[in-house]
Amino acid sequence: SDSVVAGVARALQHADSVRRLEVRANADTPEDAARARRFGAQGIGLCRTEHMFLGERRKLVERMILARTDAERDQALNALLPLQRQDFAGILEAMDGLPVTIRLLDPPLHEFLPDHTELAVRIAAAEARGEQPDPHDVELLDAVNRMHEENPMLGLRGVRLGLVVPGLVAMQVRAIAEAVVARMRAGGSPEAEIMVPLVGAVEELRLAREEVERVLAEVTAETGVPLHCPVGTMIELPRAALTAGRIAEEAEFFSFGTNDLTQTTWGFSRDDVEAAFFSAYLDKGIFATSPFETLDRDGVGRLIRIAVDEGRAARPDLKIGVCGEHGGDPESVHFFHAAGLDYVSCSPFRVPVARLEAGRAALPATEGSDSR
């Protein structure tokens, strides 16, 4: 009814007036970005780019990763560039004037390669008919076998892929930069930020960052439009948290990826939380709720506090947020407030709840708030 709606609106207004945490949303399409904005998101804290490499673009991605020659790879990257530019243009338009943190490609590799079994079956079927299998299939199977990983979630993911596939980071950064320039020329105020995933060592970030800066300078020289996009990193591996002071020297912002940080801190697979032992752990009270749902303060939280302290000691103006699932969990929001983060980022639908909880967390001695 009207009075309920008015009550919620008043509560949100009040929360917005007292909260210190900014609330952003995770979105990777213009539609989601627009929805996030309607829910009051103050920016996009995580724009994942993985889905932009699936569907009809799969063939190009296969060619990019499995290319036999530099020319073949460059051709695939050149074909992907205008598509990526369009992806980013739509999101920057929907969020005009607000920050949009675009994360460089972070695959588990197996999702982007052709299916091993499908290829093997096709080859075997041809042989069974007494025919020569398609040589392209044979070559692909060979390449897929060479790149096979037993644990893709611990494999060629995140910044690792960007460092191993020449031109991939440059293509994505160029697409971002060109979308920014186009938007500025149309009179808009794009605020793109570039985020490097799954960094464990400052050297990885340094190499990726050099590539980012090189391309930004290139596009600036070509267009005459001065570009400055903040470059930052996800903190989602224990080693990144423990070496945050050094990583901060190369990062303008940190964003905690608590999904991967929970996975790697506990050694629990985030894709197998339905596993039998997990519910047994809940039954035995080893944890009261899944650490993938409610932030584990003692382990993951401790790493977050270390990273915040070391990061800010090295770079006092370091901007720090979180963009894992916990960013929209009410109890976890209180922890992030207490830990001194600047923002939480969550799914668009959870933005109002995050705003309310961030407001409650900012009130002194509110029930459920945490001053640890």
CA distances for 346 relative to 193, 296, 343, 356, angstroms: 17, 17, 10, 13
Region of 50-58, 230-238, 333-341, 362-370 interacting with Mg ion (CB under 5 A):
230-238
Q: Name residues contacting ligand PEP, limited to 90-109 (CB under 6 A).
A: 106
Is 259 marked as a binding-site residue?
Answer: yes
Residue 193 touches which of ligand PEP, Mg ion, none (Cβ within 5-8 Å per kind): none
| Minimum CB distance to Mg ion, residue 200 (Å) | 12
Q: Does 247 bind ligand PEP (CB under 6 A)?
A: no
What's the sign of the alpha-carbon dihedral 233, 234, 240, 245? Answer: positive
CA distance 142 to 275: 33
Q: Exposure of 344 by Cβ count < 10 A (0-12 exposed, 13-18 middle, 19+ buried)? A: buried
The answer to whether residue 346 is catalytic is no
Total residue count of the chain as it appears in this document: 372
Phi, psi angle pair for 217, to nearest 5°: -65, -40
Residue 324 touches which of Mg ion, ligand PEP, none (Cβ within 5-8 Å per kind): ligand PEP
Which residue in the block uniquely carries the two structure tokens 């303008």?
252
Q: Name residues contacting ligand PEP, limited to 165-224 (CB under 6 A).
A: none
Grouping H, G, I as helix, E, B as strand and the rest as coil, residue 103 is strand
Q: Does 369 bind ligand PEP (CB under 6 A)?
A: no
CA distance 25 to 98: 11
CA distances for 188 relative to 26, 93, 123, 225, angstroms: 22, 8, 53, 13
Residue 39 identity: F
276's tokens: 């039998």
Q: Does 324 bind ligand PEP (CB under 6 A)?
A: yes
Region of 16-24, 30-38, 134-142, 258-266 interacting with ligand PEP (CB under 6 A):
258-266
| Minimum CB distance to Mg ion, residue 163 (Å) | 17
Q: Name residues contacting ligand PEP, limited to 18-47 (CB under 6 A).
A: 46
CA distance 57 to 366: 50
Region of 169-177, 252-260, 297-305, 363-371 interacting with ligand PEP (CB under 6 A):
252-260
- Return all residues near 225 (Cβ < 8 A) that are at least 6 apart: 181, 184, 185, 219
Q: Does 323 bind ligand PEP (CB under 6 A)?
A: yes
Q: Which is nearer to ligand PEP, 48 or 116 (CB)?
A: 48
Site track 248-267 with Mg ion (rule: CB under 5 A), x = hit: ---------x--x-------
Q: What angle do CA 332, 26, 97 make, to 5 degrees?
A: 115
Among 62, 191, 211, 236, binds ligand PEP (CB under 6 A): 236
| Minimum CB distance to Mg ion, residue 256 (Å) | 10
185's tokens: 């020329």
| Minimum CB distance to ligand PEP, residue 280 (Å) | 25
Q: Which amino acids are annotated as binding site for substrate, given as ranges?
A: 48, 103, 236, 257-260
Residues in touch with ligand PEP (CB under 6 A): 46, 48, 106, 236, 257-260, 323-324
